[in-house]
Amino acid sequence: MRRRLRAFMPVLAVAAAVLATSPAFAAGFGIFEQGTKAMGMAGAFTAQADDPSALFHNPAGIAFQEERDFALGFTWIRSLEAEFQGSDAGFPGSGVSEEQETLSEFPPHAYWVQPMSQNWTFGLGVMTPFGLTTEWKDVPNFSGRFISHLASLTAIDVNPTFGWQATPNLGLAVGAIGRFSTVELERNVPQFNPFTQTVADIATLHLEGDFDNSGYGWNAGLLHRVGGGNFSWGLSYRSQISVDYEGDAELTQNLTGTPFDALIATRLPFGSTFPVETGIDFPDMASLGFAYRFTPTFLAELDLNWTGWSSFDKLDIVFPEGQLPSSTIPEEYEDANNYRLGFAWDTSATNQWRFGVVFDETPQPEPAVSPLLPDSDRLGYTLGWGHEGNRVDFDLALMYLTFDDRTRDENFSASAEDRAAEYFGTYNTEAVLLGLTLGF
């Protein structure tokens, strides 16, 4: 059973979330693993939503929670393989092999649920539903360093929500979302060197924005338990949120050892910071789930999740006039679905095993695949275990995630800008995720 929530714990949860850098391991740059019980069932949780992570998966679930509840956890995400092999279709050419740095990140989640009356419940969630980390090895020799060799995006949601138990079997909820985000990008800058008649690596461009960048949206949910409760279904929705980033850019000169260094130093603002702006339209998300309890100890759930990725059509990077030329990176993402099937088996009154499988479609068109973010369809297999203790509940989950090989052999167009960003070849990725959530 739950014990009283210590007043300082939500503050610690927020602090932990702010310190996190989130890797992208749902399609695009989404992160669906926001609660370990749900993760054990491959995220198929919309029609159950019976722990505090309902605030992410389906907020209507909190309408049925009768006790104060607090949950704090994280998901450890580690890459097993993240490689690139060039093709003979264009740059960088066949035989070129590149590798990303091993990813090891801990995006956190924290939830608090507080009944207010017989029919009304308040919940507060802090979660990391979007994020991105790609970092490539051996930057001075990395063939894609002029496109990107470091990209990091962190998005922290603060989500107060009200749940209403309209009838004994029907819960409704609505909430507000404040998204606080930071972005970091780094790439090298090429320039033709007339002294050597070659393309020189003249500078490293670093762009960074703080958590002052924010956007706002809303979420809602419905959960209906039919008849005696063996069958339930749910709907949830999280709105699109736009975040405009204002940050600093810094240009560091890379010396070539030729007279070209002095010439370039007079033309570019080395050694000083200057403002930069960009923006991201984060997609909206909708989930539909159906759960059925076949026996008192065995339940299955099937979820369909839709993400409106078509809102992410480009990435503008705007510099002040007279500093560096502004640019637009075409993305042209498409709306995408993922399909989740999960099972829960109660082996005792206090222990539950969970299993699941998820197929996640990529929203990224082939011409947008690049070192900045190489994405592909993926298939995940999960195993989870939960234990309800007298003071603390434990939930553990493990996911093995395998990505389809993703090949890029075409550009959006034949424009000079597209050809400059040409990077043809095949990406191979595998990862493992370990989740832990403690309930109090």
Asked whether residue 117 is domain-assigned, the answer is: yes
Q: Which residues contact 135 (CB under 8 A, 6 or more apart)?
A: 100, 101, 103, 149, 150, 151, 152
Asked whether residue 104 is domain-assigned, the answer is: yes
- Residue 348 sits in a domain whose CATH number is 2.40.160.60
Task: Report the pLDDT value the prediction gives residue 24, as an integer from 0 to 100.
Answer: 54
DSSP per position, 57-121: H-GGGGGG--S-EEEEEEEEEEEEEEEEEE-TTSTT-TT-EEEBPPPEE--EEEEEEEE-SSSEE
Between CA 165 and CA 172 the distance in angstroms is 6
Asked whether residue 20 is domain-assigned, the answer is: yes
Asked whether residue 53 is domain-assigned, the answer is: yes
Task: Report the pLDDT value the prediction gives residue 204, as an integer from 0 to 100.
Answer: 94
CA 182 from centroid of its chain's CA atoms: 13
CA-based R_g, the chain, Å: 24
Phi, psi of 263 (to 5 degrees): -65, -45
Domain total of the chain: 1
Asked whether residue 200 is domain-assigned, the answer is: no
**Which is nearest to 377 in space by CA: 331, 334, 341, 423?**
334
Asked whether residue 190 is domain-assigned, the answer is: no
Mean pLDDT by 10 residues, the chain (440 residues): 35 34 64 96 98 98 96 96 94 95 94 97 97 93 94 95 97 98 92 90 90 91 92 98 92 91 89 89 97 97 97 89 82 96 97 98 95 94 96 96 95 75 93 96
List Cα–Cα distances, 43 to 25, 47, 53, 378, in angstroms: 13, 11, 11, 14
Between CA 397 and CA 414 the distance in angstroms is 46
Q: How many helices (H) and strands (E) does the chain have?
A: 5, 22
List Cα–Cα distances, 437 to 80, 232, 384, 393, in angstroms: 23, 24, 11, 8
Question: To which residue do tokens 């002052």 refer?
Answer: 212
Task: Report the pLDDT value the prediction gives residue 26, as an integer from 0 to 100.
Answer: 64
The pLDDT tens digits of the residues spanning 148-163 come to: 999 999 999 999 999 9
Q: Can you give the residue range of the structural domain that contains 303?
A: 9-177+212-246+282-319+336-439
Asked whether residue 44 is domain-assigned, the answer is: yes
In three-state secondary structure terms, 38 is: helix
Between CA 196 and CA 254 the distance in angstroms is 16
Asked whether residue 273 is domain-assigned, the answer is: no
Between CA 422 and CA 348 the distance in angstroms is 57
Between CA 302 and CA 44 the distance in angstroms is 6
Global pTM reads: 0.89
